[in-house]
Amino acid sequence: MNVPTIHADLERHFDNDLEDIRRFLRQPSISYTGEGIRETAWAVADLIASLGGEAEIVETPGHPIVYGELWQGAPQTLLIYGMYDVMPTDEDGWIAEPFGAEIHDLPGLGPSVICRGAVNTKGPLAAFFTAMRGIQRVEGRLPVNLLFAVEGEEEMGSRSFPAFAERYADKLRRADGVLFPFFEQDEAGMPSLVLGTKGMLYVELICTGGEWGGPTERGIHGSYNAWVRNPAWRLTRALASLVDDGENILVEGFLDDVRPLPEREAALLDEQIDAGLFDAGVFRDAYAVRRLKEPDDRRAWHRLFSQPQLNIDGLFAGYIGPETKTVLPHQATAKVDVRMVPDMDPDRVLAGLRAHLDRGGYDDIEIKVYNKYPWSKLNLDEPVVQAMIRTYRALHGRLQLWPINPGSAPYYVFERLLGLPYVTGGLGHGSRQHSSNEYCTVAGILDFERSMVTFLDEYTRGQTPQGDEHA
């Protein structure tokens, strides 16, 4: 491909591309409520058709998955994985309408699109299509065949995706690799590339009044706490038993299956830290965190990539409205997520949580499972990974290689079920996903488009890996 010419073409058409991306972002698609889901699925199908591909809306027990094909007579085929669903927008502090895709000048970042889904991940999904249009304008056709699998339940734990992948396995296995387009530059402009993802276990711990005490059917007047025990106290004591004061996990056997970082990845991480490529201060500043659990930055980075977590996402019981209302609730609930590293097994982790509560005398506390899927790891030498590394080097010069994504995604479906290598990547910056004022920078969208063109060029040229100097 004539990459410089395509890059120049994208710059000339950027104003139109930006408006197309903003239009896509304005369409709500909240998976937990279903708002706008079906309309957005059809919008994704239209994007595939706009490239000359064929798309179908695949029904599932949950939200539909958009499957598509675009055959170019090319020797290589990429599966484009994506998600069109987003989180709710109920957080306080939005400075713009959450689905307005308004452009605001953010301090230190410049003009930025504020919208739910701007970074996670409708923004990069739409920008991938505008980048492909740029290639078609200059070259006439893409250098690879594309398959598409874009789901509407990723924020709910990809509940329908594994069954879809099994059903469409023969079609999906025609791909040579998988690309998940994403804005991967941090606030300082450093791009990163992850070599896998942690697994996910998301549960509710529910404490209800019963034989142990507490009202069993409804909340009662708070004054009766003199007589009646409170499920909220019981639940908070149970939660406190899971970790120590430093939030180190105390569940028996929880860490037994944790595999240390591979020597090659641990050494590479240390090399990058020594070279100044990893700066925990960027995270602290961007997320308004004054202190990390681990004060030593080197140990903090190793902990992030090698250790599991047990996190309370939400805790609620009784009256949480304005002013006062004295009540003794009959039920208290905590939403908890566990992020698992190799070689942890989700079923063993769940059984360990159950056994821990039972041993502590909390056998009445219910565990309700919402999401449960395993970790995934990727080989550094896979062609799709090497192509993204060369892309970052060509356009930025440096990059961070992360041994694993601290977050979670259903990549085990590609690795274990389909046997396909995958990569997440792209230039561009956005942040505040799952929070108010989610954004992506306007300049970063153009950088992302350019990086997608460069990536396809690097991937189709298929250079051979050159040793271990990847950072």
Cβ distance 378 to 421 under 8 Å? Answer: yes
**Taking Cα atoms as reference points, which of 295, 269, 270 lies closest to residue 281?**
295
Classify residue 47 as left (phi > 0), alpha (psi -120 to 50) or beta: alpha
Q: Give residue 48's pLDDT.
A: 98
Query: Distance between CA atoms of 425 and 54, rounded to whole angstroms?
Result: 25
The continuous run of DSSP H or E covering 83 comes out as strand 77-83
For β-strands 327-328 and 366-373, DSSP reports them as: unpaired
Give the tens place of pLDDT for each residue, 111-146. Answer: 999 999 999 999 999 999 999 999 999 999 999 999
Q: Amino acid identity, residue 213?
A: G
In this structure, the number of other CB atoms found within 10 A of the CB of residue 470 comes to 20
pLDDT level of residue 464 (50, 70, 90 thresholds): very low
Give the tens place of pLDDT for each residue, 3-40. Answer: 999 999 999 999 999 999 999 999 999 999 999 999 99
Give the tens place of pLDDT for each residue, 411-422. Answer: 999 999 999 999
Query: Distance between CA atoms of 417 and 462, rounded to whole angstroms?
Result: 25
Cβ distance 344 to 253 under 8 Å? Answer: no
189 to each of 186, 308, 309, 427, how far by Cα in Å? 5, 27, 27, 9
pLDDT tops 70 at residue 469: no
Cβ distance 51 to 133 under 8 Å? Answer: yes
Q: Give residue 287's pLDDT.
A: 85
CATH 3.40.190.10 fits 3-195+378-461, yes or no: no
Cβ distance 366 to 353 under 8 Å? Answer: no
Give the tens place of pLDDT for each residue, 333-358. Answer: 999 999 999 999 999 999 999 999 99
Strand, coil or helix: 311? strand
Q: Which two tokens stand for residue 281?
A: 């201060």
224 to each of 98, 300, 323, 338, how far by Cα in Å? 43, 46, 20, 36
Domains of the chain: which residue ranges? 3-195+378-461, 198-258+307-373
Give every CB contact of residue 320 below 8 A, 6+ residues apart in sequence: none
Q: Which two tokens stand for residue 200?
A: 């996910």
Cβ distance 250 to 244 under 8 Å? Answer: yes
Least confident stretch, 110-114, 262-266, 311-315, 464-468? 464-468
Query: To the nearest whole percent, how much of the chain has pLDDT over 90?
Result: 95
Q: Which two tokens stand for residue 373?
A: 């899927």
Q: Give residue 301's pLDDT.
A: 95
Give the residue carrying structure tokens 């078609």: 136
Q: Give residue 173's pLDDT.
A: 98
Give every CB contact of residue 185 below 8 A, 6+ residues apart in sequence: 191, 192, 396, 427, 428, 429, 444, 447
pLDDT level of residue 184 (50, 70, 90 thresholds): very high
Q: How much is the average pLDDT of 247-269?
A: 95
The CATH code that applies to domain 198-258+307-373 is 3.30.70.360
